């Protein structure tokens, strides 16, 4: 049974941004590295502009954000795996 003790989290002291999360998966140890943080408005949500995804130390994916919206509704189909 997994517990929160199985999750590795690094938090940046100056602004409490989560800069990495790591945990075991059936595919191997999964780590997410967050960087290039930005806000849409002063005092708003702190969004990572870049996320790198690793499995057992090998980069599997890299994601970039340039903007975001809070509270927006999206159709459920958007989150379904494609063909």
The per-residue pLDDT for range 30-71, each reduced to its tens digit, is: 999 999 999 887 767 889 999 999 999 999 999 999 988 888
C-beta neighbour count of 26 within 10 angstroms = 5
> Within 13 Å and on the Cβ side, how many CA atoms surround 39?
8
CA atoms within 13 A on the CB side of 21: 10
Helix (H, G, I), strand (E, B) or coil at 4: helix
Given a cut of 60, is residue 4 above it in pLDDT? Answer: no
């Amino acid at each position: 049974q997994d517990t929160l003790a199985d999750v590795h989290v690094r938090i940046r002291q100056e602004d409490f941004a989560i800069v990495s999360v790591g945990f075991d998966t059936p595919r191997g140890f999964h780590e997410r590295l967050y960087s290039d943080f930005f806000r849409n408005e002063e005092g708003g949500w702190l969004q990572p502009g870049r996320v790198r995804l690793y499995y057992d130390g090998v980069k599997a994916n890299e994601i970039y954000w340039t903007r975001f919206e809070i509270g927006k509704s999206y159709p459920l189909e958007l989150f379904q795996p494609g063909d």
